[in-house]
A and B are shown apart, each in its own frame.
Chain A
């Protein structure tokens, strides 16, 4: 018996397309619905894995590492007590480089390859937003510890993201009304040219105008600017009553240094929306004006001294010898996440989200003046906002701030955020349990 070789039928473009469509439809039916419902291997002994998305380089490299110290302290304290729901807590980290593109890659790797259950950490709003996009796709709960752009709990909010820092509007509200009334109506804005700077300055502008003041100029400062002379000349030519800065990281360090050198700090009133502790440590002589913060290591409140001692015992060789607001936010966010897992009795993302939404935290527990809560509409922690200035009579080398006032969370609430934030319903959030 002979077998005749038969030429294969000609493969037409149409047949390839039809086949591909059928395959796609078939696999869609097999794999669907199109969301990432994941149940990874579980077990009583399997550690809970956290991905720490902290900058180690770039504009916020120092702050990112300070953030991580607070996060790690909370993890270590839970592990010392036996972990969470009977499981140890593990962490991995990678440098997000103060760069949204890098942050996207890191977040994708942490979730898809490293199987991290939760992501924690951010300083830069662009980085925080990039991580949020990835976390959204997988439904991964993400704690934005320190990025304070109003957009983070506004137009860029997410059901899976929780924002732990006070935002630009909170800080502006604490400072603006009083400054317009007591200092002057002519304001000039110095704005870092990225999301946090823009949204913070927009908020300041709106509050200044509402209080009867006027913005005479808004100078946009590109990120990584090192020479501010042209801006400072322009500031002098404009002769404002108040200069409100929304400049952060290495940029604010260089700006402060150059203002101090010129002794310009006395020529007008300076309001720095938020002063991060790592941005002033190392150059305390350049601290001037009034600035906002959420915490200070010399607050005369119960628990503060003990927390500082625990932090110092954990990091005896830290380049910054005391915790500041950045490390504090990292600690508080992580502690509350781990507590939420305990309350939920599970790592199921939706169960943990429910435990965090609307969660109330006492003033004593948070080492602040007033009770705080996680806003269920925006997922931002509403907390005490402090205004401070340089301490003329420091108790020790680290006593740089004099706390001037503290505002209740509801007095500095970002009223615009709920209108901009649209959180997804449970059914739209991919669920997982690890």
Chain B
């Protein structure tokens, strides 16, 4: 029995890490800026498309330069995609923050509607540039394919992706909890007037938070693309679990997002194996169960969104 269950527990943990990665950028902007960014999914999709452009390669470069880049081993091209796709998506975060300034301090619905509109614009932009067809991200052989564990074949890349998720989460934790930047941003979210009175440029800080959140969304898109495929509406697949995980874990809580992701992964993984028809619904049932007893989620505190 345990031997049968063990693979699904391992799968649930890896899936949970991936869910947590998807939610990370969403958590950052919601937790530190108290803005619900519904464009998170579209930024996730943009990351996947930019990664495809870099590693396929389909870049708007002169023919000889493109041929030279295509001759570079796929492993390096994939590594470049992991680093540069989020960088290329970052300017979208700057624009997003500029557009959102008019909604600061107002009813959260304004920000919600604005980012919903931006999400639709970005999805149409993707269709206009790359068309409606699907793409597959070329992968280095070293990290794709399968390996045998517990007498079963497992996806090698899935464990790499879980590793990328751990790295991203560690990076965010260090930035938010162990740097001066993180301290200023948290203080700014808590009491913006005092922070500004201390001479800190809060407007600039907000831009950087959006850039970081945007890059994390794009990074998650790159990491998930080899498993989910690349298509214009793939963002919808990301934004729903991201939102759910943040509410489950508690708005603004880093550890809440991490634990929420893991719990959702475990529930979805186990229900997929033993009650497959419930696998999609299980995460919503988990959310209902948690918020019934803890209205602000696992580690949630009172937020301005509640005002």
A residues lining the B interface (CB < 8 Å)? 57-58, 61-62, 65, 193, 219-227, 229-231, 233-234, 236-237, 250, 253-254, 257-258, 261-264, 267, 281-283, 285-286, 319-320
Q: Mark B219-255, 1 if CB is under 8 A from A, else 0.
A: 0000000111101010001000000000000000000
Residues of A within 8 A of B276 (CB): 219-221, 230-231, 234
> Closest CB of chain A to B266's CB: distance in Å?
11
Q: Hey, which chain B residues are within 8 Å of A226, CB to CB? A: 227-228, 237
Q: Is the CB of A282 within 8 A of B153?
A: no
Closest to A227 in B: B15
Write the chain A residue with the least CB distance to B237.
A226
Does B4 count as interface, using CB distance less than 8 angstroms?
yes
Q: Do B146 and A261 touch across chains, with their CB atoms under 8 A apart?
A: yes
List residues of B (130-174) whose CB comes within 8 Å of A's CBs.
131-136, 144-146, 152-155, 157-158
Q: Please, which residue of chain B has its CB at the minimum distance from the CB of A228?
A: B272
Residues of B within 8 A of A (CB): 4, 7-8, 11-12, 14-15, 18, 131-136, 144-146, 152-155, 157-158, 226-229, 231, 233, 237, 268-273, 276-277, 279-281
Question: Known pairs A224-B280, A230-B276, A261-B157. 15 more at Cβ < 8 A?
Answer: A62-B231, A220-B277, A225-B279, A227-B228, A227-B272, A230-B273, A231-B276, A237-B7, A254-B227, A257-B226, A258-B227, A261-B146, A262-B146, A281-B134, A282-B134
B134–A233 touching, CB < 8 Å: no
Give A7 to B153 CA distance when docked, in angstroms.
88
Closest 10 CB pairs of A and B: A230-B272, A222-B280, A282-B134, A220-B277, A319-B133, A262-B146, A319-B131, A219-B276, A230-B273, A282-B133
Q: Which of A220, A229, A267 contacts B155 (CB 8 A)?
A: A229
Are B11 and A263 neighbours in the complex by a CB distance under 8 Å? no
Known A-B contacts A62-B132, A62-B133, A282-B133; the reply to A227 vs B227 at CB < 8 A is yes
Q: Is the CB of B237 within 8 A of A224?
A: yes
Q: Is the CB of A233 within 8 A of B132?
A: no
B162 nearest CB across to chain A (Å): 11
Q: A193 CA to B281 CA in the complex, in Å?
A: 12
Point out the residues of chain B lying under 8 angstroms from A222, CB to CB: 277, 279-281
- Least CB distance, B278 to chain A, in whole angstroms: 8
CB closest residue in chain B, given A56: B132
Q: Which residue of B lies closest to A223 (CB)?
A: B280
| Contact of A257 with B229 in the complex, beta carbons under 8 Å | yes
Residues of B within 8 A of A282 (CB): 133-136
* CA A227 to CA B273, docked complex, whole Å: 12
Name which residue of chain A comes closest to B135, CB basis: A282
A-B contact pairs, 29 of them (CB 8 A): A62-B133, A193-B277, A219-B276, A221-B276, A224-B237, A226-B227, A227-B268, A227-B272, A230-B15, A230-B269, A230-B273, A231-B272, A231-B276, A233-B8, A234-B276, A237-B4, A254-B227, A254-B229, A257-B136, A257-B226, A257-B227, A261-B226, A267-B153, A281-B133, A282-B134, A283-B135, A286-B136, A319-B132, A320-B133
B280 touches A233 (CB 8 A): no
Is the Cβ of B273 less than 8 Å from the Cβ of A62?
no
Give complex CA distance A250, B237 in Å: 11
Task: Across the interface, name the chain B residue whose C-beta is closest to A262.
Answer: B146
Closest to B152 in A: A236
Task: Give the residues in chain A near B277, CB-CB below 8 Å.
Answer: 193, 220, 222
User: What residues of A have a CB within 8 angstroms of the CB of B281 in the complex?
Assistant: 222
Q: Which residues of A contact B11 (CB under 8 A)?
A: 229-230, 233
Instruction: Check B136 against A262 for contact (C-beta < 8 Å).
Output: no
Contact of B268 among A230, A262, A285 (CB under 8 A): A230
State A197–B34 Cα separation when bound (angstroms). 42
Chain A neighbourhood of B4, CB < 8 A? 237
Q: Distance in Å from the Cβ of B164 to the closest Cβ of chain A?
A: 16
Chain A positions within 8 Å of B227 at CB level = 226-227, 254, 257-258, 261
| C-alpha gap A281/B229 in the complex (Å) | 13
From residue B155, how far is it (CB to closest CB) to chain A in Å? 6
Of the candidates A254, A263, A319, the one whose C-beta lies within 8 Å of that of B228 is: A254
**Is there an interface contact between B155 and A262, defined as CB atoms closer than 8 Å?**
yes
Across the interface, name the chain A residue whose C-beta is closest to B10. A233
Nearest neighbor of B123 in chain A, beta-carbon distance:
A57
Which residue, of A193, A233, A286, has the highest number of chain B Cβ atoms within 10 A? Answer: A233
- Selected from B136, B153, B268, the residue in CB contact (under 8 A) with A236 is B153
Which residues of chain B come closer than 8 Å to A61, judged between CB atoms? Answer: 132, 233
Q: Across the interface, which residues of B come within 8 angstroms of A221, CB to CB? A: 276, 279
Determine the distance from Cα of A227 to Cα of B280 in the docked complex, in whole angstroms: 10
Which chain B residue has the least Cβ–Cβ distance from A282?
Answer: B134
| Separation of A237 and B273 alpha carbons in the complex (Å) | 10
Closest-CB distance, A13 to chain B (whole angstroms): 42
Query: Chain A residues with Cβ under 8 A from B157's Cβ?
Result: 261
Partner of A253 from the list B152, B158, B229, B237 (CB cut-off 8 Å) is B229
Most buried by A among B14, B18, B272, B277: B272
Across the two chains, which residue of chain A brings its CB closest to B238? A226
Q: A230-B269, A231-B276, A283-B136 are in contact. Are A261 and B152 (CB under 8 A)?
A: no
- Residues in A neighbouring B153, C-beta threshold 8 A: 236, 262-264, 267
Q: In the complex the two chains form, what is the Cα distance from A285 to B302 in whole Å?
A: 50
**In the bound complex, what is the Cα–Cα distance between A381 and B270 (angstroms)?**
42
Complex CA gap A373/B303 in Å reads: 65
Asked if residues A225 and B280 are in contact (CB atoms below 8 Å), the reply is yes
* Contact between B152 and A237, CB atoms less than 8 A apart: yes
| A281, closest chain B residue (CB) | B133
A250, B133: Cβ atoms under 8 Å?
no
Nearest to B277 among chain A residues (CB) is: A220
Distance between Cα atoms of A396 and B276 in the complex (Å): 40
Contact of A283 among B12, B134, B237 (CB under 8 A): B134
CA distance A253 to B8 in the complex (A): 23
**In the bound complex, what is the Cα–Cα distance between A58 and B4 (angstroms)?**
35
Residues from chain A with Cβ under 8 Å of B269 in the complex: 229-230
Give the distance in Å from the alpha carbon of A220 to the alpha carbon of B136 in the complex. Answer: 26
Give the chain B neighbours of A236 by CB distance below 8 A. Answer: 152-153
Which of B8, B152, B237, B276 gathers the greatest number of chain A CB atoms within 10 Å? B276
Distance in angstroms between the alpha carbons of A220 and B276 in the assembled complex: 5
Residues A230 and B8 in contact in the complex (CB < 8 Å), given A222-B281, A250-B231, A261-B155? yes
- Are the C-beta atoms of B229 and A229 separated by less than 8 Å? no
Q: Are B134 and A253 in contact (CB under 8 A)?
A: yes
In the complex formed, the residue of A with least CB distance to B133 is: A319
B144 touches A234 (CB 8 A): no
Residues of A within 8 A of B146 (CB): 261-264
A220 to B157, CA, bound (A): 25
Complex-state Cα separation, A262 to B18, whole angstroms: 18
Most chain B CB within 10 A, of A193, A220, A227, A261, is at A227
